[in-house]
Structure 1
Amino acid sequence: MITISLCMIVKNEEPVLARCLDSVASMMDEIIIVDTGSTDRTKEIAAQYTSRIYDFTWCDDFSAARNYAFSLATMDYIYCPDADEYLDLENQRRFLRLKGALLPEIEIVQMNYITPPDFNTVQNCKKEPRPKLFKRLRTFSWVDPVHETIRTDPVIYDSDIDILHRPHVMHAKRDFAMFEKAFRENRVLSEKITRMYARELYKCGDEEDFLRATDYFSLHYEAHADAESACILAHAARIQNSVDDFFSICLKDMCSSSCSEICYELGQYYRERQNPQEASLWFYNAAFETQPVLDIEISGKKALLQLAECYRTLAENELCDPCSAGDLLSRASEYEQQAQAWELPEEL
């Protein structure tokens, strides 16, 4: 059976830390808690489970804190939960089975990350596989009988363990501040971080968040002409009523491969200008003719609800033919039912 170090970084996790540790502590061979500046009872709660509690001066860098935590581990594998995660009884049993049967050549184990809709800031499916268990010391082996080379790709195992993510507060504002700070200091973010920034911003950012992000995504769009940046800039231009910039971005996107978000932005543009007929065309395209790049709900319930509202507005227009009004109301009801039945896919 393998041995496991739990390595966790925490800050002000008093409401959820015990729930997390209660669910996993008995399966761990050592527990390492790195605190980045708590002012509540977090360290007091952690002390009920381990004496290995360390302070780390926060530097706006989660990777630095996690690297420090990992450096303290001594077991075969490292498990790195966040404090707002936990395992229910069934998944505790799955974890124990995994611990007893894991083959030594496996270097990373992925587990299914499940976040409730109210706290979902980046996921586009119900279950998202994430690497959570890591071999502490990696061995290298030669592969191929001729022109031999060192295997560099990790051996990854996709487990059936479901991690329940139940945060007590939304973290989007914290994330936006860190994205903005990284841009101010470096001017360039990795492609992965850029996509995550765009997705989190589009799914749960407010107007001020979009406006603060415009400088970065303008630079990124100039360099890459990517659909993700186009979505952010189109939304920012619309809320600022910058019509020329808005249509410039949307038309460029249409000339490549249009996405659901751009169609949705066009629908919102025409709705704001009291043109439900033109808006309905673009909401229909968002729902049925294009694919999303940031928020899967845009091509699902969000577009369907807007489409239903457009048809209902058209039906209530006094100049509308009574027969046409009945048909529009029927279609509005149909789209509302589809929106109510819509759910995130299990997996992408």
Structure 2
Amino acid sequence: MITISACLIVKNEEKVLARCLESLKDIVDEIIIIDTGSMDGTKELAKLYTEKIYDFKWVDDFSAARNFSFSKAAMDYIYVADADEVIDEENRKKFLDLKKALLPEIEIVQMLYSNQLAFNTTYNYDTEYRPKLYKRIRNFTWVDPIHESVALQPVIYDSDITIIHLPENNHAGRDFKTFQSVIKRGEKLSEKLLNLYARELFIAGTEFDFLEAETYFEEQAEENLPYESLKVIHCVLAKCGRLRQDEVQMYKYSLKNIAGGKPSAEICYEVGEYFYENGDYKEAIIWYYNAAYETECDLNIHFSGDYPLLRLSNCYNKLGMKEQSETYKKLADNWQQR
């Protein structure tokens, strides 16, 4: 049977930490808590479950904290947990079965992460696979009988274990603050983080959050980035232009997005919003229809679903076309996020 270290980074989690640790305490072999500055009873509560509690000065870098937590682990595998997660009894049994049967060549185990849309900031689906269990020490192996090379891709297993995410609130404010802190330090966001920043803006961002991000996205728009990354930059900057009533900027980045051949639903929706706000409901209908039926979302699934459908209902209502308005209202109400 393999052994497992559960590693958590926490700060002010006394409301939720106990239920997480209760679900872990008898299925893992050690619990490691990395505290990044709690001012409540988090550390005292954690002491009921483990002696391995370490302080880590927060530096606006979750990877740094995760790496520190991994450095304290001693078991065969490391389970990465957050304080607002819970494993129910059915999945605890599956977890124990996995411990008994896991083949040594497996290096990463993915588990189903559910309830992602509660207080959502970055996700378009309620359940999806996430890597949760990592082999602590990886042995590199040479492969191929000739022109040999080291196998670099990890061996991944998709388990049927479900982790339930039960947040108390969303972390958008914290995330936007962290993004801005990294930028102000002069560091460049990776393409992955740039895309996540844009996605989080379209899912949970306020007008202030968009406008605070605008300068950085303008700088990145001039970089030699892949088309898919430029598309999401265009989405952010077109929306910023609309929010500031800068028609030139809105049209500039909307046209750049459309000219690429695969327009974003978010762009069509923003152009629709421009015409809707200016009372041109017939023109707005064209763009909302394209958002709902002719394009795909790049950042937030709602922009190709219930958002434009509801706006179509609003437009037809403004035009006195009650039957069409009711039809789109029903479509919006019945649209379901997968």
TM-score (normalizing by structure 2):
0.96
| 1:292 counterpart (270, 289, 297) | 297
SS of alignment partner, residue 185 of structure 2 = helix
Partners of 2:185 and 2:116 in 1: CA distance: 34
Equivalent residue for 1:244? Answer: 248
Equivalent residue for 1:330? Answer: 323
Spell out the pairing of 1:267-282 with structure 2 (5 A cutoff).
267-282=272-287
Q: Deviations over 1:257-280 (max 9, x none)?
A: 211000000110011001111111
2:108 is equivalent to residue 108 of structure 1? yes
SS of alignment partner, residue 7 of structure 1 = strand
Partners of 1:76 and 1:295 in 2: CA distance: 38
Equivalent residue letter for 1:242: D
The Cα shift of 1:118 comes to 3.9
Partners of 2:318 and 2:94 in 1: CA distance: 52
2:26 is equivalent to residue 26 of structure 1? yes
The Cα shift of 1:122 comes to 0.8
Equivalent residue for 1:77? Answer: 77
Q: Deviations over 1:258-314 (max 9, x none)?
A: 110000001100110011111111111000000111001110111111111111111
The Cα shift of 1:128 comes to 2.1
The Cα shift of 1:191 comes to 0.5
| 1:302 counterpart (291, 307, 317) | 307
Residues 72/187 of structure 1: CA separation in 2 closer, same or farther (3 Å cut): closer
Spell out the pairing of 1:1-348 with structure 2 (5 A cutoff).
1-223=1-223, 224=225, 226-256=230-260, 257-315=262-320, 325=321, 329-345=322-338
Partners of 2:23 and 2:152 in 1: CA distance: 34
Q: Deviations over 1:175-202 (max 9, x none)?
A: 1111111112134210001011110011
Q: Deviations over 1:160-215 (max 9, x none)?
A: 11211111122111111111111121342100010111100111100111111001
SS of alignment partner, residue 222 of structure 2 = helix
Partners of 1:280 and 1:90 in 2: CA distance: 48
Equivalent residue letter for 2:189: L
Partners of 1:88 and 1:337 in 2: CA distance: 36
Partners of 1:166 and 1:189 in 2: CA distance: 29
Query: 2:114 touches 2:164 (CA, 8 Å); kept in 1?
Result: yes
Query: 2:110 touches 2:156 (CA, 8 Å); kept in 1?
Result: yes
Equivalent residue for 1:322? Answer: none
Partners of 2:76 and 2:218 in 1: CA distance: 45
The Cα shift of 1:110 comes to 1.0
Partners of 2:27 and 2:156 in 1: CA distance: 21
The Cα shift of 1:87 comes to 1.1
Equivalent residue for 1:320? Answer: none
SS of alignment partner, residue 169 of structure 1 = coil
Partners of 1:86 and 1:10 in 2: CA distance: 15
Query: 2:113 touches 2:163 (CA, 8 Å); kept in 1?
Result: yes
- Paired positions, count: 333
The Cα shift of 1:152 comes to 0.8
Partners of 1:298 and 1:199 in 2: CA distance: 12
Partners of 2:147 and 2:282 in 1: CA distance: 64
Equivalent residue letter for 2:112: N
The Cα shift of 1:344 comes to 2.0
SS of alignment partner, residue 27 of structure 1 = coil
Query: 2:118 touches 2:166 (CA, 8 Å); kept in 1?
Result: no
SS of alignment partner, residue 6 of structure 1 = strand
The Cα shift of 1:343 comes to 1.8
Equivalent residue for 1:318? Answer: none
Partners of 1:26 and 1:266 in 2: CA distance: 54
Gapped regions of structure 2 (runs ≥ 5): none
Residues 97/334 of structure 1: CA separation in 2 closer, same or farther (3 Å cut): farther
Query: 2:116 touches 2:125 (CA, 8 Å); kept in 1?
Result: no
Query: 2:116 touches 2:127 (CA, 8 Å); kept in 1?
Result: no
The Cα shift of 1:337 comes to 1.8
Partners of 1:87 and 1:302 in 2: CA distance: 34
The Cα shift of 1:148 comes to 1.1
Equivalent residue letter for 1:167: P
The Cα shift of 1:115 comes to 2.9
Partners of 1:141 and 1:171 in 2: CA distance: 40
